[in-house]
Amino acid sequence: MSIQAVAAKAGVSVATVSRAFNFPGKVTPATRELVERVAHELNYVPNASARTLRTQRSRVLGVVLPTLLNPTFAECLQGIARAAVAGGYAIIPVTTGYKLDEEERAVHLLLAGNVDGLILVVSNPSSSAALPRLQAAGVPYVLAYNRHPDHPCVSVDGEGAVADAVTRLVLLGHRRIAMVSGTLAASDRAQQRYRGYLKGMAEAGLAAPALIEVPFVETAVDALSSQLQARNRPTALICSNDLLAIRSIRAAHLSGLSVPGDLSVVGFDGIALGEDLTPALTTITQPNSDIGRHSVELLIQAMASGATLQADASLLLPHAFRDGESCASVHEDDNNAAIS
Amino acid sequence: MSIQAVAAKAGVSVATVSRAFNFPGKVTPATRELVERVAHELNYVPNASARTLRTQRSRVLGVVLPTLLNPTFAECLQGIARAAVAGGYAIIPVTTGYKLDEEERAVHLLLAGNVDGLILVVSNPSSSAALPRLQAAGVPYVLAYNRHPDHPCVSVDGEGAVADAVTRLVLLGHRRIAMVSGTLAASDRAQQRYRGYLKGMAEAGLAAPALIEVPFVETAVDALSSQLQARNRPTALICSNDLLAIRSIRAAHLSGLSVPGDLSVVGFDGIALGEDLTPALTTITQPNSDIGRHSVELLIQAMASGATLQADASLLLPHAFRDGESCASVHEDDNNAAIS
DNA sequence: CTGTTAGCGCATTCAG
DNA sequence: CTGAATGCGCTAACAG
């Protein structure tokens, strides 16, 4: 069903049909109604490709993210999807599995697909080969979760958040506080959060034990278990994300430690599921859905004004400490063991 | 950067450039190399819209699903995404929030977007207004998770799976086995699983207590708690999905019941997260990623042969019972209480 | 093996 | 306010 058919049946020109749809005001009410009626009868739907070809705007946004298996990104994508439809845009998501070459491939794919703009969560803005590509192409984009002075970003203050979390644990009496992270090199978020941990520990005058890095998620529980059975095991764990926190809790149980009785665990991300667990996850929450929504809105706004987004458009969204049940005051004897 | 520019710089015709890309064999190796080199230098990328307009094929698949907040569908979408890129397709996902009018809107949107085919998870194939629309449009589609004799579906035998689960619980000594479900009317999966429950109970010669329906997820835990504190409370719960199972476990704890000590809980879906919980979730696993993958492959195959998929192309994928830690033999005294 | 050309469906000048 | 004509970038005949 093309615009031609509608024009013919309505006895007007294609230009009039086009106007009736795109500039209803520029057409006599009578002819507009006529066109609308005929279009409806013929079940006419404007052809998106033709329109895109002609206007050079696809009204499609590309989304590049590491994985959908982490609810954090699923929640974010949901936010993106909602905001996109609300703004009249469709989205094409591509997952990269935290792999740099996949990031590049994804951007290439999306650019070839004629997207008007991109939202991406990259491993590390500094080392991403995809970003220069994007800038060269002149396509507007915004980074979500990442933080970098040279790029437009929508994120939270992960460093400050973790530092605060350390302070809270210290107030609960914890002294041996360890951090658990995925591969540090694979994510600037993990690096920021680790910095926050170090900062918080330094401020409390505590020595920070070595980072517990669990590169491959499959073996995370085993790796953690051995650490938790060590002589001077930590009394509290700060985990770089909620998935790790959940696995840490499991590792604790497998090691015969109860949470929060013997071990306190704090997560990061604020995935919805955390509230339904037992113990309910204590975590630093990010507004995942809002991160997605704001990314879309920033992008749409930039595209409307014809400019590509600059770094100074970056948004820092508020985080929060969600008090759950996986954290408690430290046992007296535990700390004694630490001191002695 | 258009094909014209490449042709000009390479000193050949646009047709040759087009062939060099689409039918490399139909071009002299020398000219092909030349074209490729020039195209690379000019950073040329074929324009997807123009190609789509010309060929009437977008190489884009639409995906309609209820939500990404349930890891089941996130896992499925991940499977869809992988298979799609592997097959040279992009995807446009749209979420419906289990709302029928949103399903219709989504299909409309996607059809207007020129997708070549659709994968959808609808509330109920029988009552969906979106499906007739699709058939009318002649666009190939496949349903995922849904089951219906008149549509091509990729799914598992939810009814049989739940009936088997009941049998297992009975073998563990359970007699008072209840089913927990979301809004039954909102999903044919829930209905199938409930039928399986009734069947399993009947086969065991047990009376099935009324379905515990928790329409609004937010209040699920409260609703469940009250049920679990009733005089003749169930000793085992079969939940229509893993998210409900997780909430049920929380409700049990809030009611002072331990899982699996006082209450056994079985889920449905097999979300990855379930294995990391404590207790690890006992559940009926579906191959979520494979459901997505097969849906894509079926669709691509159908599109290649030019036909729209028929109901007889439906696939029934294998499910499995994943033994976790949320299920145990019933306490003797609990059953006595039931008998007395 | 390569070039010329038409047209996919639409938005947009420019005339009237 | 409306119509005729042009071209967005590409592929598929067809001709050479």
Cα B123 from Cα B223, distance rounded (Å): 23
- CB–CB contact B78 A68 (8 Å): yes
**Chain B: closest CA distance from residue A200 (Å):** 29
The CA-atom distances, in angstroms, between A126 and each of A103, A122, A312, B241 are 13, 10, 17, 41
The kind and range of the H/E element at B59 are: none
Model pLDDT, residue A337: 47
Task: List per-residue pLDDT tens for chain A, 340 residues long.
Answer: 899 999 999 999 999 999 999 999 999 999 999 999 999 999 999 999 999 999 999 999 999 999 999 999 999 999 999 999 999 999 999 999 999 999 999 999 999 899 999 999 999 999 998 899 888 888 999 999 999 999 999 999 999 999 999 999 999 999 999 999 999 988 999 999 999 999 999 999 999 899 999 886 666 777 788 777 778 889 999 999 999 999 999 999 988 999 999 999 999 999 999 999 999 999 999 999 999 999 999 999 999 888 889 999 999 999 999 999 999 998 655 554 444 3
Residues of chain B with pLDDT under 70: 216-219, 331-340
What protein residues sit with their CB closer than 7 Å to strand C?
A: A 2-4, 14-15, 18-19, 21-22, 44, 46-47, 50-51, 53-55; B 11-16, 19, 26-28, 30-31, 50, 53-54, 56
Protein CB footprint (7 Å) on chain C nucleotides:
1-5, 7-13
The CA-atom distances, in angstroms, between A266 and each of A10, A246, B107 are 66, 9, 42
Taking the stretch 18-57 of protein chain A, residues with Cβ within 7 Å of any atom in nucleic acid chain D are 19, 25-28, 30-31, 50, 53-54, 56
Model pLDDT, residue B219: 66
Strand pairing report for B320-322 and B282-285: antiparallel
Model pLDDT, residue B217: 64
Cα B16 from Cα B101, distance rounded (Å): 48
Is the distance from CB of B246 to CB of A273 less than 8 angstroms?
yes
Of B48, B71, B74, the CB nearest to A112: B48
Taking the stretch 309-328 of protein chain B, residues with Cβ within 7 Å of any atom in nucleic acid chain D are none
Question: What does the buried/exposed string (b/e) look like for B281-312 if buried means 16 or more CB atoms within 10 Å of the residue's CB?
Answer: bbbbbbbbbbbbbbbbbbbbebbeeeebbeee
Nucleotide nearest to B7 in CA–C1' terms: C3
Half-sphere exposure (Cβ direction) of B206: Cα atoms closer than 13 Å: 24
Nucleotide nearest to A47 in CA–C1' terms: C9
Nucleotide nearest to A49 in CA–C1' terms: C9
Cα A16 from Cα B256, distance rounded (Å): 71
User: CB under 8 Å to B181, separation ≥6 — which residues?
Assistant: B190, B193, B194, B211, B212, B213, B214, B239, B240, B244
- CB–CB contact A71 B74 (8 Å): yes
Nearest CA in chain A to B253: A278
One-letter identity of residue B276? D
Give contacts of A246 with chain B, Cβ < 8 Å: 273, 276-277
**Chain A: closest CA distance from residue B225 (Å):** 13
**Chain A: closest CA distance from residue B14 (Å):** 18
Whether the bond into A46 is cis, omega within 30 of 0? no
Whether the bond into A71 is cis, omega within 30 of 0? no
Model pLDDT, residue B291: 98
Largest Cα separation within chain B, whole Å, is: 94
- CB–CB contact B277 A246 (8 Å): yes
Per-residue pLDDT tens over the stretch B60-76: 999 999 999 999 999 99
Per-residue pLDDT tens over the stretch A41-91: 999 999 999 999 999 999 999 999 999 999 999 999 999 999 999 999 999
Model pLDDT, residue A217: 64
CA–C1' span, B138 to C5, in Å? Answer: 32
- CB–CB contact B94 A111 (8 Å): no
Question: What does the buried/exposed string (b/e) look like for A119-139 if buried means 16 or more CB atoms within 10 Å of the residue's CB?
Answer: bbbbbbbeebebbebbeebeb
| Residue of A280, A215, A211, A210 lying closest to A245 (CA atoms) | A280
Size of interface A-B (CB pairs under 8 A): 118
Model pLDDT, residue A280: 96
Q: In this structure, is the CB of residue A15 within 7 Å of any atom belonging to strand D?
A: yes
Model pLDDT, residue B234: 93
Give contacts of A277 with chain B, Cβ < 8 Å: 246, 250, 277
DSSP string, B79-133: HHHHHHHHTT-EEEEEE-TT-HHHHHHHHHHHHHTT-SEEEE--S-TTT-SHHHH
Protein CB footprint (7 Å) on chain D nucleotides:
1-5, 7-13
Give contacts of B77 with chain A, Cβ < 8 Å: 68
User: A180: which 2 tokens?
Assistant: 């658990």
One-letter identity of residue A16? T
Of B46, B81, B111, the CB nearest to A45: B111
Give contacts of A66 with chain B, Cβ < 8 Å: none
Is the distance from CB of B75 to CB of B272 less than 8 angstroms?
yes
User: CB under 8 Å to B334, separation ≥6 — which residues?
Assistant: B235, B262
Nucleotide nearest to B19 in CA–C1' terms: D11
Cα A257 from Cα A263, distance rounded (Å): 7
**Chain B: closest CA distance from residue A234 (Å):** 20
Taking the stretch 43-102 of protein chain B, residues with Cβ within 7 Å of any atom in nucleic acid chain D are 44, 46-47, 50-51, 53-55
**Chain A: closest CA distance from residue B207 (Å):** 30
